[in-house]
């Protein structure tokens, strides 16, 4: 990479850093406020998930007692939690997207440390480049 290319890359990184720095307070507030509510297809289970995908609340419609089937209820609760978690994570992704390149964000969401390190390595100049 030549000097002009390194400067351009440094300028790009600095602009990204400034964008992140200027919007981080607002972003933190928006992230803390993320909640996703999903109701099961049968309307008997409602789950609220928070910004980390954590279950905040589970509500059962009283009609659930008319059909006591623990296996069906368990499957419904599990599926509804999964959908609420996915919805919350999608909201977080939308908030974070302007601050992170797609590949870094996807690696972060997937907990892919190798992918994150590969991305960082690809941005560093190689030892023989000057």
Q: Average pLDDT, whole number, for the chain? A: 81
Give pLDDT, residue 105: 63
Structural domain boundaries in the chain: 3-123
Computed on alpha carbons and rounded to an integer, the radius of gyration of the chain in Å comes to 21
* pLDDT tens, residue by residue, 104-118: 666 666 665 566 566
Predicted local distance difference test score (pLDDT) of residue 85: 94
Give the model's pLDDT for residue 110.
63
The pLDDT score that the predictor gives to residue 130 is 45
- For domain 3-123, the CATH superfamily is Nucleoid-associated protein YbaB-like domain (3.30.1310.10)
Residues 6+ apart with CB under 8 A from 24: none
């Amino acid at each position: 990479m030549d000097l002009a290319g390194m400067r351009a890359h440094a300028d790009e990184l600095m602009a990204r850093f400034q964008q992140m720095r200027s919007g981080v307070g607002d972003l933190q507030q928006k992230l803390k406020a993320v909640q996703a509510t999903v109701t099961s297809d049968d309307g008997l289970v409602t789950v609220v998930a928070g910004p980390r995908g954590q279950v905040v609340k589970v509500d059962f419609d009283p009609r659930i007692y008319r059909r006591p089937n623990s296996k069906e209820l368990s499957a419904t609760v599990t599926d509804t939690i999964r959908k609420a978690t996915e919805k919350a994570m999608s909201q977080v992704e939308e908030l974070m997207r302007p601050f992170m390149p797609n590949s870094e964000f996807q690696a972060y969401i997937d907990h892919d440390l190798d992918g994150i390190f590969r991305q960082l390595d690809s941005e560093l100049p190689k030892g023989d480049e000057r």
